[in-house]
Amino acid sequence: MTQSASGPCPASAAGVRVSGLCRSYREGRGAHQVIRDAALEVQPGESVALLGRSGSGKSTLLNLIAGIDRPERGSISIGGEELTALREPALTLFRRRHIGFVYQFFNLIPTLSSRENVALPLELNDVRNADSIARSEAMLRQVGLEGCGASYPDQLSGGEQQRVAVARALVHRPSLVLADEPTGNLDQATGEQVLDVMLTLVSEARSSLLLVTHSLAVAQRADRILTLREGRLVAQDADRGW
């Protein structure tokens, strides 16, 4: 029996399993297969970096795992829940509850304060008022932004904005965090600081992390590196790069 898409994932079943995943797109009269029989397993608390050339399908793979896009075939299981078996309303509820997102360009809402941006996932999961405020402020403290809850995105540096984005991704205690080039819009020193915070919080929360990056230096901070090559996921070869 599967669990409710809006309920918590049982700790014993937490983790990500992808098997036989395929996705192609139309190109003229033919089709281009972007993802080809991809297989992946990420344990609770584990961080996995995904390398690949531009256009190799890294973001497509994240969208498939998030349920934003649908595979042509294959299975995606998060916390024991088979996503490909869910209809759209249940899939949306599952994504809100169990997945956190960190983007390259922060994707903060400019008309909301830092505290309000962080609180968004809680409000989408019907956590409101004093509890929402307390949890949002606690997350801001954890990412080193205590006292910045009332600040708006345009009052913060790029690194501070990305810390807010990390806090937002983790505030609802997701089973999985998907990070798409989270340091790509930051200088090296700031990017390393943000990465330190994210990796620490993901490990402490026992969330799974799938991190897309073009930087081998960033990828090497993860527990494990995979490369997307010709649509398939392969173990990183340190001597050959990707």
Map out the domains of the chain with their CATH numbers. Answer: 45-70+91-235 (3.40.50.300)
Rounded to an integer, what distance in angstroms lies between the CA atom of residue 122 and that of residue 141?
A: 17
Given a contact cutoff of 8 angstroms between Cβ atoms, the answer to whether 172 and 100 are in contact is yes
Rounded to an integer, what distance in angstroms lies between the CA atom of residue 172 and that of residue 141?
A: 15
φ and ψ at residue 61, rounded to 5 degrees: -60, -45
Count of CA atoms in the C-beta half-sphere (13 A) of 37: 2
- Give the residue among 103, 71, 98, 102 at the shortest CA–CA distance from 85: 71
pLDDT tens, position by position, for the chain (242 residues)?
Answer: 333 444 444 433 458 999 999 998 877 777 778 899 999 999 998 999 999 888 788 889 999 999 999 999 999 999 888 998 899 999 999 999 999 999 888 899 999 999 999 999 998 888 877 888 899 999 999 999 998 999 999 999 999 999 999 999 999 999 999 999 998 888 899 999 999 999 999 998 899 999 999 889 999 999 999 998 888 888 865 434 44
Rounded to an integer, what distance in angstroms lies between the CA atom of residue 19 and that of residue 224?
A: 18
Count of CA atoms in the C-beta half-sphere (13 A) of 158: 14
Distance of CA 145 to the CA centre of its chain: 21
